């Protein structure tokens, strides 16, 4: 039996609101506002503490080094680090901002995971996402791969693949477009995709771009050693993407045998559910919301479907939702109906993730779900599993190194870069990860 662990990304010291993510309504709305990196990191740690105290597996993923001076050098800037930052701010400020994003905190985009129980070779597989649809996110793939290989280093039990080749045809957004459902009949991995890279998609979004390609989803499934009967590729609904559901996890969430879904998450929802039912049997429970009872714009605004649906030690489930869902009467009514009508879901808990939500990242965005057997858990020597001692250490680390106010013009400050490198150097040692960052010479 495997226990599911939620690997949450820690908000980085350069957490900011730059409005970089086209199609992400919250990101665009708050672009240019001042941020509070310290508050963002502490909000994330508080969520981790709450989930760990429920008895659910919890772990952490460290931030990436930002500003990404290496990327700026690859784009033609030269000289010392301060000279690169100053020239980038003077000549192409939006480029410096893009190279300073702390978007790696949304760990649902870090990789796609296949547990050892599902794979042909009996190992746990992780394929880091190339995130090639957006420049600032594409910078994450290399560091994510380094970090995951430092944690999941035991080659007998784990395989961390290279990300897919970058480019329009194989654009991969990771677990944010992936759900794993399980009943007594087996497991099915649902891969949401928005467009076909090679042949073109008959119907595509008109307002916002579709990020995930069908070709990427198929390639990831193959890399992760999943058999065909365990894979289901299904197109995201163009109207859902145009409404702001840039990833499928904005309008659906799955856990074990339970699937919460808005009709605007996928095309032909009825056929999708029938296909899932045929593969997984009567043990599958599907909760579907339609436009008449939960308008898609309300679903996107409240992020009710970007909640975490987690299994408690009792075997029952609960929902971890953002407070925005509690404040939205339609969203609150839907979530409470789930608790009332489905015996397997016993509670909904609302948590404050304001700093993340302002960039369009709810509870589900912040975590990468990784099922681990006890043997696999014991094979991980890094100090990434959340407990009281690690919480205390991380809160102290944040207090020492994070600013409580950050504007976009602060990103040119060489002292900020020094602070970030000092912080991450200390953190990598604290977590027992070794020299995982390029600036450490690792």
**Which residues are catalytic, by number?**
173, 247, 365
Q: Is the dihedral of CA 261, 266, 267, 270 positive or negative?
A: negative
Asked if residue 317 lies in contact with residue 310, where contact means CB atoms within 8 angstroms, the answer is yes
Per-residue tokens: 247: 């990833």
Distance CA 384, CA 363 (A): 19
3-state DSSP assignment of residue 144:
helix
Distance CA 71, CA 315 (A): 46
Angle of helix 81-91 relative to helix 414-430, nearest 10 degrees, comes to 120
Per-residue tokens: 89: 């701010």
Asked if residue 262 lies in contact with residue 252, where contact means CB atoms within 8 angstroms, the answer is yes
90: exposed, middle or buried (Cβ count in 10 Å: 0-12, 13-18, 19+)? exposed
Q: Please report the DSSP string for 353-368 in residue order.
A: -HHHHTTT--TTTTEE
Distance CA 99, CA 68 (A): 5
Region of 244 (left: φ > 0; alpha: ψ -120 to 50; beta: rest) is left
31: exposed, middle or buried (Cβ count in 10 Å: 0-12, 13-18, 19+)? middle
Asked if residue 110 lies in contact with residue 144, where contact means CB atoms within 8 angstroms, the answer is yes
């Amino acid at each position: 039996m495997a226990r599911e662990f939620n690997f949450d990304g820690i908000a980085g010291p350069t957490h900011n609101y730059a409005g970089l993510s086209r199609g992400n309504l919250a990101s665009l709305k708050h672009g240019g506002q001042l941020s509070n990196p310290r508050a963002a990191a502490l909000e994330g740690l508080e969520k981790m503490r709450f989930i760990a105290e429920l008895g659910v597996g919890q772990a952490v993923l460290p931030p990436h080094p930002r500003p990404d001076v290496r990327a700026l050098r690859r784009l033609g800037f030269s000289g010392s680090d301060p000279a690169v930052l100053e020239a980038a701010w003077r000549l192409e400020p939006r480029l410096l901002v893009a190279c300073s994003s702390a978007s790696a905190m949304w760990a649902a985009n870090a990789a796609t995971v296949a547990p050892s129980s599902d794979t042909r070779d009996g190992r746990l597989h992780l394929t880091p996402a190339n995130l090639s649809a957006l420049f600032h996110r594409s910078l994450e793939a290399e560091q994510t791969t380094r970090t995951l290989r430092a944690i999941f280093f035991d080659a007998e039990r784990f395989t961390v693949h290279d990300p897919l080749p970058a480019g329009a045809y194989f654009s991969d957004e990771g677990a944010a477009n992936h759900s794993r459902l399980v009943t007594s009949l087996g497991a099915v991995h649902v891969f949401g995709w928005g467009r076909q890279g090679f042949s073109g998609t008959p119907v595509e979004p008109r307002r916002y771009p579709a990020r995930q390609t069908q070709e990427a989803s198929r390639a990831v499934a193959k890399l992760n050693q999943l058999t065909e009967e365990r894979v289901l590729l299904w197109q995201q609904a163009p109207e859902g993407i145009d409404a702001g559901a840039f990833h499928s996890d904005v309008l659906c969430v799955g856990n074990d045998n339970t699937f919460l879904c808005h009709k605007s998450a996928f095309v032909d929802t009825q056929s999708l559910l029938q296909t899932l039912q045929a593969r997984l049997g009567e043990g599958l429970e599907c909760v579907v919301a339609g436009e008449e009872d939960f308008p898609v714009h309300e679903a996107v605004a409240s992020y009710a479907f970007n909640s975490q649906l987690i299994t408690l030690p009792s075997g029952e489930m609960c929902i971890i939702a953002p407070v925005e869902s509690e404040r939205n009467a339609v969203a609150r009514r839907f979530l409470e109906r789930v608790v009332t009508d489905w015996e397997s879901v016993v509670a909904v808990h609302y948590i404050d993730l304001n700093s993340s939500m302002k960039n369009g990242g709810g509870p589900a965005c912040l975590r990468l779900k990784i099922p681990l057997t006890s043997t696999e858990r014991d094979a991980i020597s890094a100090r990434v599993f959340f407990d009281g001692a690690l919480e205390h250490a991380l809160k102290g680390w944040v207090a020492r190194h994070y600013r409580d106010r950050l504007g976009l013009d602060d990103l040119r400050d060489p002292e900020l870069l020094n602070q970030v490198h000092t912080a991450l150097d200390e953190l990598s040692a604290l977590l027992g990860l070794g020299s995982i960052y390029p600036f450490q010479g690792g």
